[in-house]
Amino acid sequence: MLEIQNTLVSLDLAEQFFCCDIEKCLGQCCIEGDAGAPVTETERDTLNNILPEIEPLLLPAAKKKIEEEGTSYIDEEGDLVTQIVEGRNCVFTCYAPGGICQCAIECKHAEGRTQGFRKPASCALYPVRLTEYEKFTAVNYHRWNICRSAEKNGKRLGIRLYQFLKGPLTDHFGKDWYDELCEACEAYLAEYGDKE
């Protein structure tokens, strides 16, 4: 573990190569799994506010689900998550040509229609997952076989997970935190080498 300010960061962020290869995985993280994406209460409120802007991009089944049950729900683990349809697809998924999953929130953000909200932090940070404890936040790599192409692509390009997530990690934790993380990862890799 790397201790960065009030977080404990898994060594996977330094050791693991990772760079999404969307044409290979088709963005399956939006439509796989048995629960939606974690959201904060503030993010849920924002989603509710900007819903009329996003709705035109949503599939009919997703619109119906939101109409009946709202944009989010509490999952089996007690977490607030985005609503899903067919037991797995995030309601905010839309599709680009070729069947590539896209985030409808992000598409509308690109048009400047979401009050500056790009997507839930948990989605921006994926495949990193945060767990809040009383005294610290755990920062872990969520390994999932649908992302194998990203591990291979990262290895080919020489991009590690902490480098791939530079933007989202900086947005979430701040530049000082990210700079410290880079220093710690570089020092760790210089001492213990490349385990890949």
Alpha helices in 126-174 (DSSP H): 148-157, 161-164, 166-173
Q: How far is the CB of 155 from ligand SF4 (least distance, A)?
A: 13
If the CB atoms of residues 150 and 184 are measured against ligand SF4, the closer one turns out to be: 150
18 touches 151 (CB < 8 A) = yes
| Cα four-point dihedral sign 143, 137, 102, 161 | negative
CB of 148 to ligand SF4, least distance (A): 8
Rounded Cα distance between 55 and 164, Å, is 30
Long-range contacts of 51-57 (CB under 8 A, 24+ apart): 53/108, 53/113, 53/114, 54/92, 54/104, 54/105, 54/108, 54/113, 54/114, 57/94, 57/104, 57/107, 57/108
Residues of the shown chain interacting with ligand SF4 in the complex, contacts defined by CB under 6 A: 20, 22, 25, 27-29, 126-127, 146-147, 150
- Our CB check for ligand SF4 shows the closer of 64 and 148 to be 148
Output the smallest distance, CB 29 to ligand SF4, in A: 3
Nearer to ligand SF4, 92 or 126 (CB): 126
In angstroms, rounded to a whole number, what is the distance separating the alpha carbons of residues 41 and 19?
A: 30
